[in-house]
Amino acid sequence: MSTVFTAVAARVLEAPSPAPTGVGPGGIDWSRIHPDPSAVPRPELFYTFMNGLLYLGAFAAGGALMAGLIAFGVGPLFGAHIVSDRGRSMMWKGVLIGFGVGSFTAIMAFLLVKV
């Protein structure tokens, strides 16, 4: 069994027979790879869609913050301390998601800048 496994592994791991051409000694030339906004079909539709998702995410995070704030404030009035604790955790999650959604455009702009 081990000899068969060794033979199969040697066949799978051997170098390809026709050597790849056009690739330098270090592999891929990463300096030639960069985003090309002109290659995207209808980029204004893409940016409109992304802005819509951004606003949906911001409104969802704001809604989670407000729902958590209401649950945190109303829970102790009715003796529902579990609801109050969950409201507090919902507020933190809403704030963190809001920061994540708000910083997404800055992160993407940083990643897509040509060097």
53 contacts 105 by C-beta, under 8 angstroms? no
User: Domain range for residue 61?
Assistant: 43-115
**pLDDT at residue 16 in the model:** 63
pTM above 0.85, yes or no: no
The H or E element that residue 98 is part of is helix 81-111
The domain tally of the chain equals: 1
In b/e form, how buried is each residue of 61-90, taking b as 16+ CB within 10 angstroms? beebbeebeebbeebeeeeeeebbeebeeb
What SS3 class is residue 53?
helix
- For the ranges 4-18, 21-35, 57-71, 95-109, the maximum mean pLDDT occurs at 57-71
Distance CA 91, CA 97 (A): 10
